[in-house]
Homo-oligomer: A and B are copies of this chain.
């Protein structure tokens, strides 16, 4: 447990408004000793998968004991439940809409509780801003040491989606998708080095990646190792294979966005090729 309670916040609220600031005010009103840290407020609007991705890339960089507050909540005000999830090292406060799916995938054991103890909520509870009225107060009270069982009962039918994994067409061909385009225009695929271990034993690694009519055949160790307008692959800090270009946007060059299909074929270029 950290010296001071830490609460991270991940939302799709953007920064145009006061929404995140208000949530911090609510948290600090309950626990002025909390350290509140932003993970990302530019999750694509209403996009539960994108929120899950941001969180999965971040949560275990925080110290054990951190409370992760996640509000990507297109169903706010509907029947979807607010939940508290306890894993070995962290607690999560979020709507029960699948945004914690990647946590469920990675954590060996989780305990999920449906938050029903309305006396912890901020009154009156609006129908459109549970971040302020439900999720922030619950995180605040948790950070003050309130036990999770005080908020509601364990449930097992919580919402989760399965991450889209690449499919293996044959020994040499794997099909995936772009799951993220980051700020620099790097295209993060859902293919990991573990999906194609055979190419990593060789130098250069023999492969062709096809995406939107382009073919990428070089793996670089870093962005700077690529030529300025060259498209190349890297094993990204995300743990996935990413398509990049040096000091430029691969996504723009490829004219792709999230969801684009990606094919990785194991094997060198055909005879006569490079």
Please give the residue numbers on chain A whose beta carbons come within 8 Å of chain B beta carbons, in ascending order: 2-4, 6, 8, 10, 13-22, 24-26, 28-29, 32-33, 35-42, 45-46, 54-55, 57-59, 61-63, 66, 74-78, 126-129, 132-133, 182-184, 221-225, 234-237, 242, 246-247
Contacts and interface: CB of A to CB of B under 8 A. Distances in A.
Central interface residue in A20, A59, A127, by most chain B CB within 10 Å: A127
B77 A221 contact: yes
Given A2-B32, A17-B182, A234 B25 contact: no
A62 B128 contact: no
State the oligomeric state as a number of copies.
3
A76 B222 contact: yes
B45 A222 contact: no
A6 B21 contact: no
B38 A21 contact: yes
A234 B127 contact: yes
The A interface, classified by DSSP as helix, strand, loop or mixed, is loop
Contacts of A40: 15-18, 21
Nearest to A20: B38
Nearest to A221: B127
A141 B127 CA distance: 40
Closest 3 CB pairs of A and B: A77-B222, A129-B237, A21-B39
B3 A25 contact: no
A63 B26 CA distance: 8
A28 B35 contact: yes
16 contacts: A2-B32, A15-B42, A17-B54, A18-B39, A18-B40, A21-B37, A21-B38, A21-B40, A24-B38, A32-B35, A36-B37, A45-B183, A45-B184, A74-B246, A127-B234, A133-B237
Contacts of A22: 39, 57-58, 61
Contacts of A234: 127-128
B37 A17 contact: no
Contact of A63 (B32, B39, B184): B32
A57 B26 CA distance: 12
A127 B16 CA distance: 27
A131 B49 CA distance: 25
A28 B2 contact: yes
Given A4-B33, A62-B28, A223 B57 contact: no
B224 A76 contact: yes
A250 to B, nearest CB: 13
